[in-house]
């Protein structure tokens, strides 16, 4: 039947032309990791503690969270404290405890398809439904990494409040555009000289 031959040909073309090979499936793409780590670096850089240099501090991360990206964020905060001249010690040795908390450490993504054909399912007899990928002509997609940190500093011996710091914020962005099916990317997560176009979605 001509209809079935055309349907089979259409299925073959779309399956062949739109296949993607990914050898690994990590919990986050490299772009997402860079967005979150850049936002964490920027938020950590905003944490300014009014403590004298060489003050012995203990970082209490009990309430900081337990998601996939926490370890890097904690490292960024500790590095920032060291740059301020503070000494990181155990709780028993500390003069001041820094109880840190995170209100956000994740990625937002928004996309606007201004002109083009959205993804849809095409029924093929005896084969089921075939998903036809989106065909964008004009599109704008924004990914944002957002970090929100705060610190409560209190005396290690008497538990009295020394200072509340924050919340402070860090934001990073990757902006993707498509014009007449030609894509390009702008971002603030890679230093000058790196090619943003190699970043995966």
Q: Which domain holds residue 81?
A: 27-198
Please indicate, yes or no, if residue 15 is contained in any of the structural domains: no
pLDDT in tens, the chain (201 residues): 454 444 444 444 444 444 445 555 667 788 899 999 999 999 999 999 999 999 999 999 998 877 778 999 999 999 999 999 999 999 999 999 999 999 999 999 887 766 777 777 878 777 778 787 777 777 888 899 999 999 999 999 999 999 999 899 999 999 888 877 777 788 888 877 665 544 544
Please indicate, yes or no, if residue 128 is contained in any of the structural domains: yes
Please indicate, yes or no, if residue 11 is contained in any of the structural domains: no
Peptide bond into 69 cis (omega under 30): no
Peptide bond into 32 cis (omega under 30): no
Please indicate, yes or no, if residue 159 is contained in any of the structural domains: yes
Q: The pTM is what?
A: 0.73
Strands 135-155 and 96-117 turn out to be antiparallel
Structural domain count of the chain: 1
Number of H helices, E strands in the chain: 3, 8
Please indicate, yes or no, if residue 171 is contained in any of the structural domains: yes
Please indicate, yes or no, if residue 84 is contained in any of the structural domains: yes
For residue 73, which of 50, 106, 31, 51 has the smallest C-alpha distance? 106
Question: C-alpha dihedral over 45, 50, 52, 57, to 10 degrees?
Answer: -70
């Amino acid at each position: 039947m001509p209809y079935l031959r055309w349907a089979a040909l259409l299925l073959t073309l779309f399956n062949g032309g739109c296949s993607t090979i990914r050898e690994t499936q990590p919990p986050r793409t490299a772009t997402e990791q860079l967005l979150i780590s850049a936002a964490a670096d920027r938020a950590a850089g905003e944490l300014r503690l009014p403590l004298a240099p060489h003050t012995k501090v203990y970082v209490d991360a009990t309430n900081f969270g337990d998601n996939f990206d926490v370890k890097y964020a904690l490292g960024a905060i500790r590095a920032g404290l060291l740059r301020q001249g503070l000494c990181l010690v155990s709780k028993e040795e500390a003069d001041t405890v820094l109880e840190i908390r995170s209100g956000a450490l994740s990625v937002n993504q928004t996309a606007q398809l201004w002109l083009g054909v959205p993804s849809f399912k095409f029924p093929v007899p005896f084969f089921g439904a075939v998903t036809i990928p989106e065909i964008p002509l004009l599109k704008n997609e924004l990914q944002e990494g957002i970090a929100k940190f705060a610190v409560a500093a209190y005396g290690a011996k008497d538990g009295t409040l020394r200072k509340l710091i924050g919340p402070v914020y860090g934001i990073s962005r990757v902006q993707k555009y498509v014009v007449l099916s030609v894509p390009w990317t702008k971002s603030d997560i890679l230093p000058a000289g790196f090619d943003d176009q190699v970043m995966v979605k």
